[in-house]
Amino acid sequence: MFRSGASCVCFLFAAMAALVPGALARAGQWPSSATVVPSSAACRANCPTTGSPEIQGEVLFPDGSPAANIPVRLDPEMGGGMMATAVTDSGGEFYFTDVGVGNSCTLSLDVPGYQPVRRSFTTNAMVNSEDIILAPLRGARESNGGAIVSAEDLRVPAKAMAQYRQGLLQLGHGQSDAAEKSFQKAIHLYPHFAKSYMKLSAIYADQGRFSLANRAIQRALRLRNSSSQAFGYLGYVYAKESHPKKAAQAFHRAIALRKSNWFAQLELGRLFYSQKNFRRALGPLHAARRIHPQFASAHLLLYDDLIQLGERKKALAELDDFLARFPNSPETPQLRKVRAALAAAIAAQR
């Protein structure tokens, strides 16, 4: 799978001072003209390689169906930041970015007919996943027409969630084999764990084990058939399997379900970029960077796309934004040299 790490940035100057970006990605992942810090799609949308971590989760009714249009509040404790509110999408998913590391937070939501939810936790450096299954008030009927069942019967068991989070941490450290085992253990403990199937699908796709990848993502879709996140993973599997038309359809479906799905926007842009359709890549890449500005790869892929389109001044502005946001990134020293070369090339053309 894509991993961020020490990368090489080089510029090649041809006659007439034409600037061509060199490869940041490992050989075989991108054309030699790509200047992209590879993003980890298996932890994607889940563990930024640079910048602040995030909180994501799902709100579900007791029968397992998604709870859409539910406001979820995030309250930092001890004055650790501003209160924020996210509204669940059609798949019941919510998402907060830039939450910081080591901050004590409380997630809360109040849905008529259901017990109030209050969850306190401390943010870590990776993904903070908080899935919530609503428990009906005693004597209440379900607002979505389902039968009343105990939330405990459907809640992800603590041991399964621990394995899932362990897998996320392992992915963040590039330990895909260990992560695979953790997600498998989570599924063994809780066979309806859709997110673990999604993670496995990406791991299998990165390894070229496409039959397993397809089996895993189809299982996730059966469990969450209106999940934007699941369709994003489906697109990722199709893209790795060299089915660009199917991949684009899946990414578009993910975006239709949730426009704020920055991963689907990023991967759709990446798909168009790989096809050298740079103009078409521009829209989703802009969207990905706007939605999740703390994800380094979104900036650099957009920068590279602008270079390919000959939009050097806009590319320089994008690179300046990256350098301002990520002064401590491992790529920053080399990218400062890239920035100086690009600025000199622009000045020479005046």
Contact 76, 113 (CB under 8 A): no
Report which of 125, 130, 115, 123 is spatially closest to residue 58, judged by C-alpha positions.
130
Task: Give tens-digit pLDDT for 260-312.
Answer: 888 999 999 999 999 999 999 999 999 999 887 878 889 999 999 999 999 99
Which residue type is seen at 165? R
Apex 263 CA angle, 43 and 99, nearest 5: 70
Q: What is the mean pLDDT of residues 42-47?
A: 30
Q: Give the separation between CA 268 and CA 190, rounded to whole angstroms.
A: 31
Which residue type is seen at 74? L
| Burial class (CB within 10 angstroms; exposed 0-12, middle 13-18, buried 19+) of 27 | exposed
| Residue recorded with tokens 């963040």 | 172
Which residue type is seen at 71? P
Helices 176-189 and 194-206 pack at an angle, to 10 degrees, of: 150
Question: Is 1.10.3720.10 the CATH classification of the domain at 51-155?
Answer: no
Contact 95, 260 (CB under 8 A): yes
Query: Residue 237: which H helix or E strand, with range?
Result: helix 228-240
Residue 27 has pLDDT above 60, yes or no: no
Question: pLDDT class for 63, splitting at 50, 70, 90?
Answer: low
Q: Where are the domains of the chain?
A: 51-155
Task: Give tens-digit pLDDT for 178-226.
Answer: 999 999 999 999 999 988 999 999 999 999 999 999 999 999 999 988 8
